[in-house]
Structure 1
């Protein structure tokens, strides 16, 4: 079974789409080999396991995390056989977290398709997610690199901590920017960073590890901040989900944090407090307040700061064609329209 082709997401902005496509094109052979590794490790004598896994993984996705792992390995001159195993492991960890996330969030759509929890059930999704985690660790062991196993196991723990931290902030209108960034670093940026570091050291220590890890962490933060902003704009329509999902799930994201701070009256502040304590408030009003106060632009300015940090991190690396592509992708990550 071939992994499904990806569709263009206009919400992401042309520059970002082109940069991501260029990275994929440059690594096409390695990505195809990685996809084969992924498919080879979805097998099980329990028929439902590969069925659930392929429902999610076969639906496509940008494969940004494995691409960053593979690019890092190329830049660091690492062994590509190990890099493919690790890129596959990173994607399986990502897939496992998505299965768990959709259960926790009671999500109905992902990438335009019904989520696995809707199609197969919550219990099935959680257990298959556990299976994918186990397969990911099996791939790590195949590399024989203890530092990589340590790196990705710690990343998996951090991602779980991020999930719990997000639950703690859910509905808490007093959540600060720093608290929200802690959630993003744990839930999203950590796996990007681990992917880059794992690729760089897939066959041993590398002087490129620190720069690539810093790049990927800051890229991941910028990427997530933009996705959060798009939930209050028009971008979510192209992402296979409904605009306002984060609002209805009472997730504290940067647009809400900034909008609550910008509230002009006690009545507006009470609207935000009630919206995130009850979860059944008027999304149209929330969106209009965000638009009135230019919150989308402000949220993107936060993302731009982290995109700049990602670009700057690459200056420590020697010249390489893939370095230029990574730079373009980071620079474009915060330019997606609101």
Structure 2
């Protein structure tokens, strides 16, 4: 039985195990997203923060800290920090991508405007750094500040590479490590750091988050071509319409003949898309079996995530994180 068929999914089990901590995180988020002088800030933030997301990234921080025996207060600050960074990047991403829907709801830039989304995102970044500083840990500040910079680098790299047919899987991996995996790995790494764990444990937590984030993003990119919009909250083919070279297309371009490459050049590089192009793109992905190859890559990264936790003592939380890696790719079944 796949994890999709399980009565209680791994992230739900994780949420139940961390319920008390997550309540504290949610309270801190609501407190710190308030603004005495600009009421639009909590309005825009609440629209996204309270949209029913799984809060996976902050739960990773809480789980890592608790798994390492931490019993202080600052794992809550770090979890809120991670969620603020994530929310800020979503607000900025939706402006850059000109998105109209996220998690099945209208985006903030559609309901308000681009200026509000960008400025509120900036505010949340500032709030996240305030929370980091309150932990009193320079190492934590270094990890999360580097993650924020890496996320921005990944997004800028995607701007230049996502519509260039010369983009290969190596560049794609750099983009994914930036835009997604950097925050996953930082989320788990700081949990070990705040708990005072030795370097080998902290590294294992980093490796888990890194591999989980890559598996998560590859799976997300694959679902864009074969998912259910009612489940994913995205329209099928959004990446194609936005001319993003994600892994299934990169693999198809690598296998393309001259006629197929001309199609990809017209639709992705030049942006001249017509009715029926999405269906033809999906047909080419099936022709070269790149959806299966992409799924195999996601499974391989999920396996790396599970292997990384092998050095940690067995616990219920460790087992939940292992199951979570399976669930990320079980969505593709």
TM-score (norm: length of structure 1): 0.93
Which stretch of structure 1 is more off in the superposition, 284-293 or 67-76?
284-293
Partners of 2:68 and 2:195 within 8 A in 1? no
Alpha-carbon distance in 2 for matches of 1:17, 1:99: 30
Partners of 2:104 and 2:230 within 8 A in 1? no
Alignment of 1:219 onto 2:212:
yes
2:323 to 311, 318, 328: 328
Alignment of 1:262 onto 2:265:
no
Deviation (angstroms), 1:212: 1.0
1:43 matched residue in structure 2: 34
1:251 matched residue in structure 2: 244
The CA RMSD over aligned residues, in Å, is 1.6
| Counterpart mapping for 1:20-99 below 5 A | 20-45=11-36, 46-99=38-91
Alignment of 1:122 onto 2:100:
no
Equivalent residues, number: 326
Alpha-carbon distance in 2 for matches of 1:17, 1:165: 38
Distance of aligned partners of 1:15 and 1:169 in 2 relative to their CA distance in 1, 3 Å threshold: farther
2:288 to 265, 276, 293: 293
Alpha-carbon distance in 2 for matches of 1:114, 1:68: 27
Deviation (angstroms), 1:79: 3.4
Which stretch of structure 1 is more off in the superposition, 312-321 or 98-107?
312-321
Extract unaligned runs of 5+ from structure 1. 1-11
2:299 matched residue in structure 1: 304
Which stretch of structure 1 is more off in the superposition, 245-254 or 280-289?
280-289
Partners of 1:211 and 1:314 within 8 A in 2? yes
1:105 matched residue in structure 2: 97
Which stretch of structure 1 is more off in the superposition, 165-174 or 175-184?
165-174
Deviation (angstroms), 1:15: 5.4
Alpha-carbon distance in 1 for matches of 2:91, 2:252: 31
Distance of aligned partners of 1:215 and 1:127 in 2 relative to their CA distance in 1, 3 Å threshold: same
1:238 to 227, 231, 234: 231
Distance of aligned partners of 1:29 and 1:205 in 2 relative to their CA distance in 1, 3 Å threshold: same
SS at match of 1:232: helix
Deviations 1:249-273, CA, capped at 9 Å, x for gaps: 111110100111222x321121111
Alpha-carbon distance in 1 for matches of 2:323, 2:229: 23
Alpha-carbon distance in 1 for matches of 2:219, 2:7: 12
Deviations 1:63-107, CA, capped at 9 Å, x for gaps: 110010000001111234100000000000000000000000000
Alpha-carbon distance in 2 for matches of 1:160, 1:152: 13
Partners of 2:188 and 2:209 within 8 A in 1? yes
Alpha-carbon distance in 1 for matches of 2:284, 2:98: 27
TM-score (norm: length of structure 2): 0.94
SS at match of 1:25: helix
